[in-house]
């Protein structure tokens, strides 16, 4: 990682986030802007590996910028930041293409650790956001029957069933475990854990940890009432 852009409407918060980001990535250059227009200008002028977007940005806002960034620079990691985990904001950001959702009111050390997950290609999600996502989908599945063929271990008419080990991996992913954490928990090598994760993504037809967690809840592979988030 070489360059990071922070788009934060509040100057004091922007300065604090810049300080936190420099702690997470000491050797990386960090730029900070306060508006969507400034963010676009910077993104068009140079390449950034990571962009942290304030969900309360005015005008087109973070969602509009996420949608534009997904088209203009699909290789850039875009992560949204907020002071609260409002359902509408969380799911709007996920649908727009965010690769993480971080709460700015959590402990500094937790935020630093979650940012560092990006270096391992692990999407940074604050634990309370993960719990909210799981609760939302648990309530959805409680209010309507799961489609035939989507029970635990199944993946729909065109998919493949998960093995017992793959279901274990899904459970650990939903709890926020990184690839290294999964390897340690299962007593396997990190490369083996990576292979399991890749297989799970393929069978669930997803491309990331957040999607895998949501799909696992939808299929009844994860019990939201008995899980815990791991930062």
Query: Can you read off the two tokens belonging to residue 192?
Result: 């083996």
* pLDDT-based confidence at residue 209 (cuts at 50, 70, 90): confident
Report how far apart, in Å, the C-alpha atoms of 32 and of each of 12, 16, 54, 136, 230 are.
11, 11, 11, 33, 29
Q: Indicate the range of 87-91, 132-136, 204-208, 221-225 predicted with least confidence.
A: 221-225
What is residue 76's DSSP assignment? S
Residues in the chain: 231
Position 18 scores a pLDDT of: 95
Domains of the chain: 3-124 (3.40.50.2300), 146-226 (1.10.10.10)
What is residue 37's DSSP assignment? H
- Specify the pTM: 0.60
Position 81 scores a pLDDT of: 92
Q: Indicate the range of 45-54, 76-85, 107-116, 222-231 predicted with least confidence.
A: 222-231
Task: Give the C-alpha separation, 52 to 33, whole Å.
Answer: 10
When pLDDT is averaged across residues 98-114 and rounded to a whole number, the result is 89
Query: Can you read off the two tokens belonging to residue 168?
Result: 């274990």
Q: Is the confidence at residue 21, as pLDDT, over 90?
A: yes
Classify residue 13 as exposed, middle or buried by CB count within 10 Å of its CB (0-12, 13-18, 19+): middle
Position 73 scores a pLDDT of: 86
- Quick one: which H or E segment has residue 109? helix 108-116
Q: Would you say 119 and 1 are in contact if contact means Cβ atoms under 8 Å apart?
A: yes
Burial 90-127 (b: 16+ CB within 10 A, else e): bebbbebbbbbbbbbeeeeeebeebbebbeeebbbbbb
Q: Indicate the range of 85-89, 118-122, 164-168 predicted with least confidence.
A: 85-89
Among 18-22, 103-107, 132-136, which range has the highest average pLDDT?
A: 18-22
Position 155 scores a pLDDT of: 44
When pLDDT is averaged across residues 53-67 and rounded to a whole number, the result is 83
Task: Give the C-alpha separation, 175 to 228, whole Å.
Answer: 6
Please state, rounded to an integer, the average pLDDT across all residues of the chain: 80
Report how far apart, in Å, the C-alpha atoms of 184 and of each of 100, 149, 152, 162, 180 are.
24, 32, 24, 21, 6
Which of the pair, 145 or 53, is modelled with greater confidence? 53
Query: Can you read off the two tokens belonging to residue 209?
Result: 């940890």
Which of the pair, 177 or 49, is modelled with greater confidence? 49
């Amino acid at each position: 990682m070489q360059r990071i852009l922070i788009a934060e409407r509040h100057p004091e918060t922007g300065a604090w986030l810049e300080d936190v980001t420099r702690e997470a990535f000491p050797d990386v250059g960090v730029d900070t802007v306060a508006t969507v227009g400034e963010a676009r200008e910077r993104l068009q002028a140079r390449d950034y590996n990571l962009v942290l977007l304030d969900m309360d940005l005015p005008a087109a806002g973070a969602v509009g910028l996420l949608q534009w960034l997904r088209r203009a620079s699909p290789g850039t990691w875009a992560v949204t930041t907020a002071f609260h985990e409002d359902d509408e904001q969380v799911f709007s950001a996920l649908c727009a293409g965010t690769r993480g959702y971080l709460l700015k009111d959590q402990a500094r050390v937790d935020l630093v650790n979650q940012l560092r997950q990006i270096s391992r290609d692990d999407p940074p999600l604050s634990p309370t956001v993960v719990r909210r996502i799981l609760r939302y989908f648990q309530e959805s599945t409680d209010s309507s029957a799961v489609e035939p063929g989507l029970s635990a271990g199944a993946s729909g008419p065109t998919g493949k069933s998960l093995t017992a080990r793959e279901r274990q991996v899904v459970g650990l992913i939903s709890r926020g475990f990184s690839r290294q954490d999964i390897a340690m928990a299962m007593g396997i090598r990190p490369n083996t854990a990576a292979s399991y994760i890749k297989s799970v993504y393929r069978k669930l037809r997803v491309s990331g940890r957040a999607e895998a967690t949501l799909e696992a809840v939808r299929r009844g592979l994860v019990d939201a009432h008995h899980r815990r988030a791991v930062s």
